[in-house]
Structure 1
Amino acid sequence: MDDGDESEQVRELQARLRQLDHFDRAPTGFYGTMTAGSVKAFQKKRALPVTGTVDTATWERLLTVSKEPTADELKPSTTNELDTPDARCMTGRVLCISKESRTLAWMIDGRVVSSMDVRFGSENTPTREGTFSVGWKAREWTSTIYHTPMPYAMFFSGGQAVHYSSDFAARGYGGASHGCVNVRDQAKLAALFDQVKVGDKVVVHW
Structure 2
Amino acid sequence: MGGTGTTGTTRRISRSTTAALAVTGLVTPLTLALGAAPAQAAPACTAGTGPYQKKVEKFLGRPVDGRQSTADCRAIKAFQTKHGITPNAGYAGSVTWGVMDLMTKQKAVGTNPNRDGRCPVNKGRVACVNLTLQLSWIQDGRTLVYGPVPVRTGRNGDETRTGAKKIYWRNIDHYSTLYNVPMPYAQFFDGGQAFHQASVSMWNPPGSRGCVNMTKTAAKKYWSLLRNGDDVHIWGRKPGT
TM-score (norm 1): 0.60
The separation in 1 between residues aligned to 2:125 and 2:171, in whole angstroms, is 19
1:139 aligns with 2:128: no
2:221 match: secondary structure? helix
Gaps of 5+ in 2: 1-27, 31-50, 63-99, 237-241
The aligned counterpart of 1:174 is: 205
Amino acid paired to 1:199: G
2:168 touches 2:228 (CA, 8 Å); kept in 1? yes
TM-align CA RMSD: 3.2
The separation in 1 between residues aligned to 2:127 and 2:140, in whole angstroms, is 9
The separation in 1 between residues aligned to 2:134 and 2:150, in whole angstroms, is 6
Q: Deviations over 1:132-167 (max 9, x none)?
A: 000011111111211111111110000000111102
The separation in 2 between residues aligned to 1:103 and 1:126, in whole angstroms, is 15
Percentage identity across aligned positions? 26
Kindly tell me the number of residue pairs found equivalent between the two proteins: 144
1:68 aligns with 2:57: yes
Alignment of 1:97-108 (within 5 A): 97-108=129-140
The separation in 1 between residues aligned to 2:129 and 2:121, in whole angstroms, is 9
Stretches of 4+ aligned residues off by more than 2 angstroms = 70-77, 79-85, 87-91, 172-175
**Which structure shows the higher helix fraction?**
1
> Shift of residue 86 of structure 1?
1.3
2:120 match: secondary structure? helix
* Closer/same/farther in 2, CA of residues 87 and 103 from structure 1, 3 Å limit: closer
The aligned counterpart of 1:183 is: 214
> Shift of residue 109 of structure 1?
1.7
Amino acid paired to 2:146: S
Amino acid paired to 1:98: N
1:95 to 127, 136, 142: 127
The separation in 1 between residues aligned to 2:207 and 2:59, in whole angstroms, is 24
Q: Deviations over 1:56-87 (max 9, x none)?
A: xxx99xx6xx893232793869x643353414
1:187 match: secondary structure? helix
The aligned counterpart of 1:122 is: 155
The separation in 1 between residues aligned to 2:234 and 2:133, in whole angstroms, is 12
* Closer/same/farther in 2, CA of residues 26 and 191 from structure 1, 3 Å limit: closer
> Shift of residue 192 of structure 1?
2.0
Amino acid paired to 2:229: G
Gaps of 5+ in 1: 1-24, 28-58
1:121 touches 1:179 (CA, 8 Å); kept in 2? yes
> Shift of residue 89 of structure 1?
4.5
The aligned counterpart of 1:17 is: none
> Shift of residue 189 of structure 1?
2.1
Which structure exhibits the higher relative contact order, with contacts defined as CA atoms closer than 8 Å and separated by 6 or more residues? 2
The aligned counterpart of 2:224 is: 194
